[in-house]
Amino acid sequence: MRGQKPVVVAAAVLASLCLGTGVAAAGDGWGSPKPGSDGAGDSYYPQDGNGGYDVADYHLKVTYDPATHQLTGNQDITARATQSLSSFNLDLHGLTVDSVKVDGRDAAFGRTGDHELVITPSRALRRGRPFTVKIAYHGVPAPIDDPALGNSGWQYAKAGGAFVAGEPKSATTWYPVNDTPLDKATFHLAITVPDEWGVIANGREKPSVKVPGGTTHVWAEETPIVPYMTTVAIDKWTFDRQQRKDGTPIVSAFAPGVPDSTKQAEARLPEILDFLESKFGPYPIDAAGGIFLNEQIGFSLETMSRPIYSAGWAGTVPTIVHENAHQWYGDSVAVAHWRDVCLNECFASYATWLWDEAKEGVDLNAMYANDVNTAPARLWNGKLYDMGQGNEFTYVYSKGPMMLHALRNYIGERAFSWVLKTWPSLHRDGNASLPEFQRYTEFAAHRSLKGFFDAWVYGTGKPADEFLFPGGLKH
């Protein structure tokens, strides 16, 4: 760490700089039981997620048959009521719910809209009290087809397997969930498939169990996780297992047909994680690895502890750097709202710049100058904050790292490096917003950065020269 200010001091100051985030709680007292809200209030996806409770853990027991695509699930949810609840919702696309129990008692349930599962317990749930939900369900999972974002969720491989990937939603296609970034929970999966199929998922691999009709594969993600970052992938994998120097397990899986060049790139993961740790602070997840498909899906995704990669261009070192940088920026520290997505993608994209600077000797100032001089007008008019639903995954990849390089030169190397390294630790396992990041960066720089953030982040148009070419940057 280049700065010498301890994180504990920053944490104390941060309390006065930042607005808290999380699932909203009710006022004082138990209050009269009322239905929990059917959405978490995101400005782009207001019906995603739900209110009135906070999930601590999802425990899934799933049986899946690749031949018929039939999935049968038994789910245990551990949660706490944040208001007195007469009923509450979970999110689930498709699939048939067979039974629901709340605290061991049969509960009434129904479906509304395109993904709301409404559960009415036999007894009201009091604010502040823990409760459990058991759900039995089955069906043939299907992806969510978004005109702007493509397929998300449970998808099928041409070779007969299946995998889960998608953002901002995907988990709802294979289990009931509170589908909001504001409700992180631990995630435990036991999935039974025929013996010839392998399974990889989030977290740490536990011993598998032979059962009639197949093998049960067990995975446990003990780091609190946002639902869209959960995954499972079923194929005839080739596995590579290694460890970081600190003992963190690394498990990577390669589908049949994945080239050796991709395996060689992933073999550098320990080096990549060590490098990212030097920039972003301690690795915040309890496992690592990658899932390498032999499918062209148009994107790779930072599924927690184990990113999932499209075939082709994605199996390269820069993409592996990008997706693993998300373990700090996007996974451990998740967005408060989807308008804050630059906190994920701008930083992961800039991580590849930092890698090129350190490992390839790239002159970032020269690269930045070239990018500025060749940028089309549409780039300058692309917003990095509150860009609108469907536009989240656009200019954050191009204008985003340019903004961060300009910020680095605007506030100086010491302040910038300190912010990069301490921000993930301060918000570990939580959520954050871009305005919070601005205030924290102002604290580190000892001055207002309103002009810079207005020019680069909140507004449109080419920034004035004082923000476009600060410090050592030149035309």
Report all structural domains of the chain as residue ranges with CATH numbers, in order of start: 37-228 (2.60.40.1730), 237-331 (1.10.390.10), 338-469 (1.10.390.10)
Please report the pLDDT score of residue 298 as a whole number.
86
pLDDT in 10s for each residue of the chain, 475 residues: 333 333 434 444 444 444 443 444 434 457 899 999 999 999 999 999 999 999 999 999 999 999 999 999 999 999 999 999 999 999 999 999 999 999 999 999 999 999 999 999 999 999 999 999 999 999 999 999 887 767 899 999 999 999 999 999 999 999 999 999 999 999 999 999 999 999 999 999 999 999 998 999 999 999 999 999 999 999 999 999 999 999 999 999 999 999 999 999 999 999 999 999 999 999 999 999 999 999 999 899 999 999 999 998 788 999 999 999 999 999 999 999 999 999 999 999 999 999 999 999 999 999 999 999 999 999 999 999 999 998 999 999 999 999 999 999 999 999 999 999 999 999 999 999 999 999 999 999 999 999 999 999 999 999 999 999 999 888 7
Contacts (Cβ under 8 Å, ≥6 apart) of 306: 200, 201, 202, 203, 231, 251, 252, 287, 288, 289, 290, 291
Pair of tokens at residue 272? 């990549």
End-to-end CA distance of the chain: 31
What phi, psi does 138 have (nearest 5°)?
A: -160, 170
| Alpha-carbon gap, residue 165 to 181, rounded angstroms | 16
- In order, the DSSP letters of 406-426 are HHHHHH-HHHHHHHHHHHHHH
Alpha carbon of residue 217 to chain centroid = 23
| Alpha-carbon gap, residue 433 to 341, rounded angstroms | 9
Tell me how far CA of residue 215 lies from CA of 7, 60, 64, 194, 196, in angstroms: 46, 15, 11, 6, 9
Please report the pLDDT score of residue 475 as a whole number.
72
Of 358, 350, 361, 397, nearest in space to 275 by CA: 358
Residue pair 118/109 in contact by the 8 Å Cβ criterion: yes
Please report the pLDDT score of residue 314 as a whole number.
82
| Alpha-carbon gap, residue 17 to 427, rounded angstroms | 13
Half-sphere exposure at residue 341, Cβ-oriented, CA atoms within 13 angstroms: 22
Residue ranges of the alpha helices (H) in 294-398?
317-325, 342-359, 364-374, 377-380
Please report the pLDDT score of residue 42 as a whole number.
95
User: Can you give the C-alpha Rg of the chain in angstroms?
Assistant: 23
Residue pair 194/156 in contact by the 8 Å Cβ criterion: no
Of 165, 468, 432, nearest in space to 302 by CA: 165
What phi, psi does 11 have (nearest 5°)?
A: -65, -40
Grouping H, G, I as helix, E, B as strand and the rest as coil, residue 103 is: coil
* β-bridge mates for residue 249, sequence order: 243
Please report the pLDDT score of residue 344 as a whole number.
98
Residue in this structure with the two tokens 């207001």, named with its chain if needed: 46
pTM of the model: 0.93
Number of neighbours of residue 417 by Cβ within 10 angstroms = 17
- In order, the DSSP letters of 126-174 are PTT-EEEEEEEEEE----EEETTTEEEEEEE-TTS-EEEE-SS--GGGT
Alpha carbon of residue 209 to chain centroid = 29
Largest CA distance in the chain: 69
Please report the pLDDT score of residue 472 as a whole number.
80
